[in-house]
Structure 1
Protein backbone atom coordinates (compact mmCIF):
# COMPACT_ATOMS: atom_id res chain seq x y z
CA UNK A 1 0.00 0.00 0.00
CA UNK A 2 1.44 3.31 -1.11
CA UNK A 3 0.95 6.46 0.88
CA UNK A 4 0.23 9.47 -1.25
CA UNK A 5 0.94 12.90 0.16
CA UNK A 6 -0.97 15.97 -0.88
CA UNK A 7 0.61 17.99 -3.70
CA UNK A 8 1.36 21.00 -1.49
CA UNK A 9 3.74 18.89 0.66
CA UNK A 10 6.02 18.01 -2.28
CA UNK A 11 7.73 21.42 -2.17
CA UNK A 12 8.41 21.05 1.54
CA UNK A 13 9.91 17.56 1.34
CA UNK A 14 13.17 18.88 -0.09
CA UNK A 15 13.67 20.84 3.17
CA UNK A 16 12.52 18.14 5.58
CA UNK A 17 15.34 15.70 4.84
CA UNK A 18 18.23 18.19 5.38
CA UNK A 19 16.49 19.60 8.47
CA UNK A 20 16.15 16.08 9.91
CA UNK A 21 19.80 15.31 9.18
CA UNK A 22 20.88 18.56 10.83
CA UNK A 23 18.82 17.81 13.94
CA UNK A 24 20.26 14.29 14.04
CA UNK A 25 23.80 15.68 13.71
CA UNK A 26 23.23 18.17 16.57
CA UNK A 27 21.74 15.41 18.76
CA UNK A 28 24.67 13.06 18.07
CA UNK A 29 27.17 15.87 18.79
CA UNK A 30 25.44 16.67 22.08
CA UNK A 31 25.46 12.97 23.04
CA UNK A 32 29.16 12.58 22.11
CA UNK A 33 30.05 15.65 24.15
CA UNK A 34 28.13 14.29 27.14
CA UNK A 35 29.84 10.89 26.87
CA UNK A 36 33.24 12.58 26.46
CA UNK A 37 32.72 14.77 29.55
CA UNK A 38 31.73 11.77 31.69
CA UNK A 39 34.65 9.69 30.40
CA UNK A 40 37.12 12.50 31.11
CA UNK A 41 35.64 13.06 34.59
CA UNK A 42 35.99 9.35 35.41
CA UNK A 43 39.57 9.26 34.09
CA UNK A 44 40.37 12.36 36.14
CA UNK A 45 38.98 10.76 39.31
CA UNK A 46 40.63 7.39 38.66
CA UNK A 47 44.10 8.81 37.96
CA UNK A 48 43.70 11.83 40.31
CA UNK A 49 44.49 14.29 37.55
CA UNK A 50 44.71 18.01 38.37
CA UNK A 51 41.41 19.85 37.91
CA UNK A 52 43.01 22.22 35.37
CA UNK A 53 43.96 19.29 33.15
CA UNK A 54 40.47 17.78 33.38
CA UNK A 55 38.87 21.13 32.53
CA UNK A 56 41.22 21.65 29.59
CA UNK A 57 40.52 18.16 28.24
CA UNK A 58 36.77 18.75 28.53
CA UNK A 59 37.03 22.02 26.63
CA UNK A 60 39.17 20.52 23.88
CA UNK A 61 36.79 17.57 23.52
CA UNK A 62 33.78 19.88 23.33
CA UNK A 63 35.48 22.06 20.72
CA UNK A 64 36.45 19.07 18.55
CA UNK A 65 32.96 17.54 18.72
CA UNK A 66 31.14 20.79 17.94
CA UNK A 67 33.60 21.75 15.19
CA UNK A 68 33.07 18.33 13.55
CA UNK A 69 29.29 18.81 13.90
CA UNK A 70 29.55 22.25 12.28
CA UNK A 71 31.49 20.80 9.34
CA UNK A 72 28.92 18.02 8.99
CA UNK A 73 26.01 20.50 9.03
CA UNK A 74 27.73 22.65 6.40
CA UNK A 75 28.30 19.54 4.30
CA UNK A 76 24.58 18.69 4.58
CA UNK A 77 23.77 22.21 3.39
CA UNK A 78 25.97 21.64 0.34
CA UNK A 79 29.12 23.48 1.30
CA UNK A 80 32.19 21.60 0.11
CA UNK A 81 34.83 20.67 2.68
CA UNK A 82 37.50 21.70 0.17
CA UNK A 83 36.03 25.19 -0.03
CA UNK A 84 35.90 25.42 3.76
CA UNK A 85 39.50 24.23 4.13
CA UNK A 86 40.69 26.65 1.45
CA UNK A 87 38.87 29.55 3.11
CA UNK A 88 40.22 28.62 6.55
CA UNK A 89 43.83 28.33 5.39
CA UNK A 90 43.52 31.55 3.39
CA UNK A 91 42.23 33.47 6.41
CA UNK A 92 44.88 31.90 8.64
CA UNK A 93 47.66 32.90 6.23
CA UNK A 94 46.39 36.48 5.94
CA UNK A 95 46.02 36.65 9.73
CA UNK A 96 49.56 35.40 10.28
CA UNK A 97 51.01 37.91 7.81
CA UNK A 98 49.02 40.73 9.37
CA UNK A 99 50.14 39.69 12.85
CA UNK A 100 53.82 39.65 11.91
CA UNK A 101 53.49 42.92 10.00
CA UNK A 102 51.85 44.59 12.98
CA UNK A 103 54.11 42.98 15.57
CA UNK A 104 56.87 45.59 15.25
CA UNK A 105 54.42 48.47 15.47
CA UNK A 106 52.57 46.94 18.42
CA UNK A 107 55.88 46.27 20.17
CA UNK A 108 56.89 49.91 19.79
CA UNK A 109 53.52 51.16 21.04
CA UNK A 110 53.72 48.89 24.09
CA UNK A 111 57.29 50.02 24.77
CA UNK A 112 56.12 53.65 24.58
CA UNK A 113 53.66 52.88 27.36
CA UNK A 114 56.51 51.34 29.35
CA UNK A 115 58.74 54.38 28.74
CA UNK A 116 56.02 56.67 30.08
CA UNK A 117 55.38 54.51 33.14
CA UNK A 118 58.88 53.32 34.10
CA UNK A 119 60.60 56.59 33.05
CA UNK A 120 64.05 55.25 32.06
CA UNK A 121 64.65 58.76 30.66
CA UNK A 122 62.74 62.00 30.25
CA UNK A 123 62.53 64.80 27.75
CA UNK A 124 65.75 66.86 27.56
CA UNK A 125 67.85 64.11 29.20
CA UNK A 126 71.09 63.20 27.47
CA UNK A 127 71.19 59.47 26.77
CA UNK A 128 73.35 56.90 25.06
CA UNK A 129 71.99 53.59 23.77
CA UNK A 130 74.88 51.12 24.10
CA UNK A 131 75.46 48.10 21.88
CA UNK A 132 77.20 46.41 24.79
CA UNK A 133 79.08 47.66 27.82
CA UNK A 134 82.20 48.62 25.84
CA UNK A 135 81.14 50.00 22.45
CA UNK A 136 79.76 53.53 22.20
CA UNK A 137 76.28 53.72 20.76
CA UNK A 138 73.65 56.20 19.69
CA UNK A 139 73.68 59.31 21.85
CA UNK A 140 71.99 62.65 22.06
CA UNK A 141 69.41 64.76 23.85
CA UNK A 142 65.82 63.44 23.99
CA UNK A 143 63.66 65.98 22.20
CA UNK A 144 60.52 63.91 21.52
CA UNK A 145 58.87 60.61 22.45
CA UNK A 146 55.94 59.47 20.28
CA UNK A 147 54.16 56.13 19.85
CA UNK A 148 56.82 54.61 17.60
CA UNK A 149 60.08 56.55 17.95
CA UNK A 150 62.12 58.52 20.44
CA UNK A 151 63.88 61.39 18.72
CA UNK A 152 67.43 62.22 19.83
CA UNK A 153 69.19 65.42 18.81
CA UNK A 154 72.82 64.52 18.23
CA UNK A 155 75.21 66.78 20.10
CA UNK A 156 78.57 65.13 19.56
CA UNK A 157 81.38 65.80 17.12
CA UNK A 158 80.55 65.90 13.42
CA UNK A 159 76.83 65.18 13.68
CA UNK A 160 75.67 68.24 15.59
CA UNK A 161 72.21 69.44 14.61
CA UNK A 162 71.03 66.11 13.16
CA UNK A 163 68.40 63.94 14.77
CA UNK A 164 68.12 60.19 15.29
CA UNK A 165 64.78 58.42 15.46
CA UNK A 166 65.24 55.34 17.63
CA UNK A 167 62.43 52.73 17.76
CA UNK A 168 61.04 52.62 21.29
CA UNK A 169 61.50 48.86 21.65
CA UNK A 170 65.26 49.39 21.24
CA UNK A 171 65.42 50.90 24.74
CA UNK A 172 64.33 47.58 26.23
CA UNK A 173 66.82 45.53 24.18
CA UNK A 174 69.90 47.62 24.91
CA UNK A 175 71.54 49.31 27.86
CA UNK A 176 70.73 53.00 28.19
CA UNK A 177 73.11 55.46 29.83
CA UNK A 178 71.48 58.70 31.03
CA UNK A 179 72.69 62.13 32.14
CA UNK A 180 70.41 64.92 33.28
CA UNK A 181 73.20 67.49 33.03
CA UNK A 182 75.45 67.36 29.93
CA UNK A 183 78.36 68.66 32.00
CA UNK A 184 78.36 65.31 33.86
CA UNK A 185 78.76 63.32 30.65
CA UNK A 186 82.25 61.93 30.19
CA UNK A 187 83.52 63.45 26.91
CA UNK A 188 81.50 63.46 23.72
CA UNK A 189 78.15 64.92 24.75
CA UNK A 190 78.22 68.68 24.46
CA UNK A 191 75.13 70.39 25.74
CA UNK A 192 73.53 73.40 24.19
CA UNK A 193 72.36 74.73 27.50
Structure 2
Protein backbone atom coordinates (compact mmCIF):
# COMPACT_ATOMS: atom_id res chain seq x y z
CA UNK A 1 0.00 0.00 0.00
CA UNK A 2 1.44 3.38 -1.00
CA UNK A 3 1.54 6.54 1.06
CA UNK A 4 -1.26 8.12 -0.97
CA UNK A 5 -3.58 5.14 -0.48
CA UNK A 6 -2.80 4.82 3.21
CA UNK A 7 -3.60 8.48 4.01
CA UNK A 8 -6.36 9.13 1.45
CA UNK A 9 -8.83 10.45 4.07
CA UNK A 10 -6.29 12.90 5.51
CA UNK A 11 -5.32 14.09 2.03
CA UNK A 12 -8.94 14.75 1.06
CA UNK A 13 -9.62 16.51 4.38
CA UNK A 14 -6.46 18.61 3.95
CA UNK A 15 -7.62 19.63 0.48
CA UNK A 16 -11.01 20.60 1.86
CA UNK A 17 -9.45 22.67 4.65
CA UNK A 18 -7.28 24.51 2.14
CA UNK A 19 -10.30 25.13 -0.10
CA UNK A 20 -12.36 26.42 2.84
CA UNK A 21 -9.50 28.73 3.90
CA UNK A 22 -9.22 30.21 0.40
CA UNK A 23 -13.00 30.71 0.14
CA UNK A 24 -13.23 32.20 3.66
CA UNK A 25 -10.39 34.62 2.93
CA UNK A 26 -12.10 35.80 -0.26
CA UNK A 27 -15.48 36.20 1.46
CA UNK A 28 -13.98 38.04 4.45
CA UNK A 29 -11.95 40.34 2.21
CA UNK A 30 -14.99 41.26 0.12
CA UNK A 31 -17.22 41.73 3.19
CA UNK A 32 -14.76 43.98 5.04
CA UNK A 33 -14.01 46.03 1.92
CA UNK A 34 -17.71 46.53 1.16
CA UNK A 35 -18.31 47.55 4.80
CA UNK A 36 -15.37 49.96 4.59
CA UNK A 37 -16.64 51.42 1.32
CA UNK A 38 -20.14 51.98 2.69
CA UNK A 39 -18.75 53.70 5.79
CA UNK A 40 -15.90 55.57 4.01
CA UNK A 41 -13.17 53.92 6.05
CA UNK A 42 -9.52 54.46 5.12
CA UNK A 43 -7.82 51.73 3.08
CA UNK A 44 -4.99 51.32 5.62
CA UNK A 45 -7.45 50.50 8.37
CA UNK A 46 -9.38 48.12 6.12
CA UNK A 47 -6.24 46.21 5.17
CA UNK A 48 -5.22 45.96 8.81
CA UNK A 49 -8.52 44.38 9.84
CA UNK A 50 -8.32 42.01 6.87
CA UNK A 51 -4.84 40.92 7.98
CA UNK A 52 -6.07 40.24 11.53
CA UNK A 53 -8.97 38.12 10.29
CA UNK A 54 -6.74 36.24 7.82
CA UNK A 55 -4.35 35.45 10.66
CA UNK A 56 -7.21 34.05 12.73
CA UNK A 57 -8.41 31.91 9.80
CA UNK A 58 -4.86 30.61 9.25
CA UNK A 59 -4.47 29.66 12.92
CA UNK A 60 -7.78 27.79 12.85
CA UNK A 61 -6.74 26.01 9.65
CA UNK A 62 -3.43 24.92 11.20
CA UNK A 63 -5.26 23.56 14.23
CA UNK A 64 -7.65 21.71 11.91
CA UNK A 65 -4.75 20.18 9.96
CA UNK A 66 -3.10 19.04 13.17
CA UNK A 67 -6.31 17.27 14.18
CA UNK A 68 -6.77 15.76 10.70
CA UNK A 69 -3.28 14.30 10.62
CA UNK A 70 -3.78 12.46 13.88
CA UNK A 71 -2.15 14.44 16.61
CA UNK A 72 -3.87 13.45 19.84
CA UNK A 73 -6.42 15.97 21.10
CA UNK A 74 -4.94 15.88 24.60
CA UNK A 75 -1.53 16.83 23.19
CA UNK A 76 -3.09 19.71 21.27
CA UNK A 77 -4.85 21.02 24.37
CA UNK A 78 -1.66 20.81 26.44
CA UNK A 79 0.31 22.60 23.71
CA UNK A 80 -2.35 25.29 23.24
CA UNK A 81 -2.68 25.88 26.97
CA UNK A 82 1.11 26.21 27.26
CA UNK A 83 1.20 28.65 24.36
CA UNK A 84 -1.73 30.59 25.82
CA UNK A 85 0.04 30.80 29.17
CA UNK A 86 3.24 32.12 27.62
CA UNK A 87 1.34 34.57 25.42
CA UNK A 88 -0.80 35.64 28.40
CA UNK A 89 2.26 36.38 30.52
CA UNK A 90 3.92 38.22 27.64
CA UNK A 91 0.77 40.21 26.92
CA UNK A 92 0.29 41.04 30.58
CA UNK A 93 3.72 42.61 30.42
CA UNK A 94 2.68 44.37 27.21
CA UNK A 95 -0.99 44.98 27.94
CA UNK A 96 -0.87 48.44 26.41
CA UNK A 97 0.05 47.01 23.00
CA UNK A 98 -2.88 44.60 23.14
CA UNK A 99 -5.28 47.30 24.33
CA UNK A 100 -4.15 49.66 21.57
CA UNK A 101 -4.63 46.98 18.89
CA UNK A 102 -8.08 46.14 20.28
CA UNK A 103 -8.93 49.84 20.42
CA UNK A 104 -7.78 50.25 16.81
CA UNK A 105 -10.19 47.51 15.75
CA UNK A 106 -13.02 49.05 17.79
CA UNK A 107 -12.33 52.47 16.26
CA UNK A 108 -12.43 50.87 12.81
CA UNK A 109 -15.83 49.27 13.30
CA UNK A 110 -17.53 51.92 15.44
CA UNK A 111 -16.04 54.77 13.38
CA UNK A 112 -16.72 57.67 15.78
CA UNK A 113 -14.41 60.02 13.85
CA UNK A 114 -12.36 60.00 10.66
CA UNK A 115 -9.17 61.40 9.22
CA UNK A 116 -9.57 65.13 8.67
CA UNK A 117 -11.89 65.65 11.64
CA UNK A 118 -10.87 68.18 14.25
CA UNK A 119 -11.32 66.66 17.69
CA UNK A 120 -11.00 67.86 21.24
CA UNK A 121 -9.70 65.33 23.78
CA UNK A 122 -11.09 66.09 27.23
CA UNK A 123 -8.27 65.27 29.63
CA UNK A 124 -8.10 67.06 32.97
CA UNK A 125 -4.32 67.43 32.76
CA UNK A 126 -3.75 67.89 29.04
CA UNK A 127 -6.60 69.04 26.80
CA UNK A 128 -5.89 68.64 23.11
CA UNK A 129 -7.62 70.17 20.13
CA UNK A 130 -6.17 68.86 16.89
CA UNK A 131 -6.89 67.49 13.43
CA UNK A 132 -6.70 63.73 12.87
CA UNK A 133 -3.99 63.02 10.31
CA UNK A 134 -3.88 59.21 10.45
CA UNK A 135 -5.37 56.33 12.44
CA UNK A 136 -3.20 53.22 12.71
CA UNK A 137 -3.49 49.95 14.64
CA UNK A 138 -1.68 51.33 17.71
CA UNK A 139 -2.11 55.10 17.69
CA UNK A 140 -3.74 58.12 16.09
CA UNK A 141 -1.65 60.94 14.64
CA UNK A 142 -2.91 64.42 15.50
CA UNK A 143 -1.77 67.86 14.33
CA UNK A 144 -2.52 70.93 16.44
CA UNK A 145 -3.22 74.36 15.03
CA UNK A 146 0.31 75.38 16.11
CA UNK A 147 1.81 72.59 13.97
CA UNK A 148 2.60 70.29 16.89
CA UNK A 149 2.47 66.60 15.89
CA UNK A 150 0.92 64.41 18.61
CA UNK A 151 0.91 60.61 18.59
CA UNK A 152 -2.04 59.56 20.79
CA UNK A 153 -2.62 55.92 21.80
CA UNK A 154 -5.90 54.43 20.54
CA UNK A 155 -6.76 53.01 23.95
CA UNK A 156 -6.76 56.53 25.44
CA UNK A 157 -9.07 57.77 22.69
CA UNK A 158 -11.65 55.25 23.87
CA UNK A 159 -11.11 56.11 27.53
CA UNK A 160 -11.23 59.90 27.27
CA UNK A 161 -14.12 62.06 26.25
CA UNK A 162 -13.84 63.20 22.64
CA UNK A 163 -15.68 66.06 20.93
CA UNK A 164 -15.70 66.48 17.18
CA UNK A 165 -15.21 70.18 16.59
CA UNK A 166 -16.67 71.80 13.53
CA UNK A 167 -14.10 73.72 11.51
CA UNK A 168 -14.09 77.39 12.26
CA UNK A 169 -15.32 79.58 9.43
CA UNK A 170 -12.80 81.94 7.95
CA UNK A 171 -13.79 85.59 7.81
CA UNK A 172 -14.31 86.36 4.15
CA UNK A 173 -15.67 89.42 2.49
CA UNK A 174 -18.54 88.82 0.16
CA UNK A 175 -18.27 90.42 -3.24
CA UNK A 176 -21.00 90.81 -5.81
Q: TM-score normalised by the shorter chain: which range applies?
A: 0.3 to 0.5
State the TM-score, normalized to the length of structure 1: 0.41
Structure 1 or 2, whichever has the larger Rg, is 1
State the TM-score, normalized to the length of structure 2: 0.45
